[in-house]
Amino acid sequence: MFELRINNRNYSFEPQTCNDVLYESFHRGKCSKLSFNIAVKGQTNPQLSIREGDMVSLKATGQKMFFGTVFQRKRNSDGVERFIAYDQLRYLKNKDTYIYSGKKASEVVRMIALDYRLRFGKLEQTRCVIPHHIEDNVTLLDIIENALDFEFERSGQRFTLIDEFGSLTLKNESQMFSGVVLDKSVIGGLSFFSSIESRSNRVKVSRYDRSAGKREVFIASDTDSENQLGVLQHYVRIGDKNESLSNRAYSLLALHNKDERSILISNALGDAKIRGGSRVILDLDEFKGSAMVLQCNHKLSENQHLMDLLVGI
């Protein structure tokens, strides 16, 4: 059903796991996580030991799913050792200060990957050039996400950074179709959610004009939505003196003036092609069409592969 392989720098082997192997992946902002348990009682071969820093990979039905590094291990008196591994996005939790000018978001990703010796594959080129920018004492992932937000807010194109079996990869979300169709014949349960937590019905954009010694402000709003939901404001400060405040404000309002709607799918038949950031086709009575996988939790055992999905619609 699946292959879990350990490389402890001296030896490559497949350990005998007990209980389910759990693989969690996300759309944005988090690294993928692999959790597995191994019965070590009576194990005396040092070549088969697993330590922090060892590499682990997971495949299912021949499909590559996860490649990462062991970060945690815990052994209880029951003779079972528990391990947690993360992919390379875990290293983007490091904090740093970056000052850069005239770079695209894809170039920011490449710069950070090289600085931190991270393996990367294809980084799809973004279009918008970021002017002089300072990121002070923030995580590397936040620096990258801010650069990707800059692209999204100006071009409407959303890019996602994932670790694709050991290589950081930047992809346009419109190209991340898994080709998988989910209908009621392959899922166990459904829950539907709707939220205005991240909605903005008013956008305020400001810029300080040094030559005039004053601050310019433009506000775009949806009055009907404000009357119904209250004021939900998104505030942005820009530095580009040539950028139109009104164009930026109305563009952001169009992007953010939406409810969040999602479906939690539980105990679906597992498919190794699906991960956080993938697109699937839902064929349900309640919704039909393409949906983004916000989070995917795979549960693999010797004779079963199930998954829980949170999808945005």
Q: How confident is the model at residue 44 (pLDDT cuts 50, 70, 90)?
A: low
Looking at residue 19, its pLDDT comes to 86
Q: Kindly report the number of other CB atoms within 10 A of residue 140's CB atom.
A: 23
- CA dist., res. 214 & res. 207, Å (int): 9
> For domain 91-174, is the CATH number 3.55.50.60?
yes
The pLDDT value recorded for residue 240 is 73
Band of pLDDT at residue 46, cut at 50, 70 and 90? low
Cα gap 88→8, rounded to integer Å: 17
Residue type, 221: S
Predicted local confidence at residue 43, as pLDDT: 63
Say which DSSP state 124 is in: P
Q: How many CA atoms lie within 13 A of 216 on its CB side?
A: 16
What is the average per-residue pLDDT within 215-236?
Answer: 96
Alpha helices in the chain (DSSP H): 105-115, 140-155, 223-229, 245-256
Q: For 156-208, what is each residue's pLDDT tens digit? A: 899 999 999 999 999 999 889 999 999 999 999 999 999 999 999 999 999 98
- Which residue type occupies 128? C
Superfamily of domain 2-87: Baseplate protein-like domain - beta roll fold (2.30.300.10)
Q: Where are the domains of the chain?
A: 2-87, 91-174, 176-195+260-312, 202-256
Class of domain 176-195+260-312: mainly beta
Cα–Cα distance measured from residue 93 to residue 138, given in angstroms and rounded to the nearest whole number: 9
Single pTM value for the model? 0.89
- The answer to whether 159 touches 150, Cβ cutoff 8 Å, is no
* Mean pLDDT rounded to a whole number for the chain: 92
- Asked if residue 85 has pLDDT above 90, the reply is yes
The pLDDT of residue 242 is 78
